[in-house]
Amino acid sequence: MNLPLPHPGLALAPASPQFIDHYNASGHGHGQPGAARELADGLRAAAASVSPKYFYDALGSQLFEAITLLDEYYPTRTEAGIFDAAHSQMAAALSGAGISRPCLIDLGAGSCAKAMRLIPHLQPGQYVPVDISVDFLRDAAEQVQNTYPELAIVGVGMDFSAALVLPPQVQRQDRVFFYPGSSIGNFSPDQALAFLQRIADPAQGAARGLLLGIDLVKDKATLEAAYDDALGVTAAFNKNLLRHVNTLLGADFDPRQWRHVALFNEAQSRIEMHLEARCELTVHWPDGERRFGMGERIHTESSYKYTLDSMSALLRQAGFSQIKPWTDAKDWFAVFWAAV
């Protein structure tokens, strides 16, 4: 029988989560060569691009939290509604797979708000939030620890899109990966398959399963509005990437010279975000430069949309079984359970 977690607000001795910063140690933080090399390569490419992981400096993380509150941005509230409606079924799926007190590994944890909806129901023995935005994650992990003082927490600053090697402080038994928010859509289908295969790989320890949030295919107008809101918060989020690139690469982007563009590419079933040059300009950094013509774009994000059948097939191909989805009443979003 699972013991209840401490009630939020219960007065216990202060606790602090463990925190391991692999991201800066790997040479991808401010002033370090890994990020600068990757960014310069993307900007020099024939079709310039910057990985969406670079949205998430401290300000970018705050802007994304604001996006999740917008009327147009349905994914966060729709997924939250699924968690609220189906948390007992999700807990039963874990129990049916023989998992109790899982090690809940929260990929792209951000504010940890999504995991907080499930922690009381899944009863993890250890919670491991993972994110590239190190300072933002550190603060969020502290808030989770304040809410659940007796929960073992190991925060990990890491770019898990490049490699998924967790530190030894993360327990190897009964690992359940949690990847909500449709972030898997940032990978191409081939990249998503490789990523899912890494999660299912026995080298990940005793990985037992995955809770995965995905955005489902729907009408173009709804999709495009979600990525181009009337208040311009998503535009600010996209243009803040240039500010972050300036910090990491030593570049001289002027965000005022760029326009936010969001469109649905129906042929590839993906939303695309771009930054479009408002005029002819040249961007410089210590070891290079890139000229942009007026109207030329930097591709900053793809967000692939799936059907229940296409994601189920992808999970099976990656080595998962016992696949079960939950959806909202409109079939706009889905949360999948998949066992290893």
Any domain includes 110: yes
Q: What pLDDT score was predicted for residue 26? A: 52
Any domain includes 193: yes
Do residues 126 and 171 make contact, with C-beta atoms less than 8 angstroms apart?
yes
Q: What pLDDT score was predicted for residue 3? A: 47
Taking only the tens place, the pLDDT of each residue in 56-93 is 998 999 999 999 999 999 999 999 999 999 999 999 99
Any domain includes 93: no
Residues spanned by the domain of 314: 18-23+99-216+305-339
According to DSSP H, which parts of 45-160 are helical?
Answer: 58-67, 74-96, 113-122, 134-147
Query: What pLDDT band is residue 173 in, cutting at 50, 70 and 90?
Result: confident
Distances in whole angstroms, Cα of residue 235 to Cα of each of 17, 134, 186, 202, 253: 34, 23, 18, 41, 16
Helices (H) and strands (E) in the chain, counts: 10, 13
C-alpha 47/C-alpha 161 separation (Å) is 21
Query: Which residue is listed with tokens 């993906």?
Result: 270
Q: Which of 117, 107, 104 is nearest to 77 (CA)?
A: 117
Is the predicted pLDDT of residue 148 greater than 80, yes or no? yes
Taking only the tens place, the pLDDT of each residue in 106-138 is 999 989 999 999 999 999 999 999 998 888 899
Burial of 286 (0-12, 13-18, 19+ CB in 10 A): exposed
Taking only the tens place, the pLDDT of each residue in 193-219 is 999 999 988 776 667 899 999 999 999
Any domain includes 36: no
Domain of residue 155, CATH code: 3.40.50.150
Do residues 296 and 276 make contact, with C-beta atoms less than 8 angstroms apart?
yes
Any domain includes 158: yes
**pTM of the entire predicted model:** 0.87
Taking only the tens place, the pLDDT of each residue in 258-289 is 999 999 999 999 999 999 999 999 999 999 99
C-alpha 66/C-alpha 284 separation (Å) is 31
Any domain includes 106: yes
Query: Which residue is listed with tokens 């129990």?
Result: 95
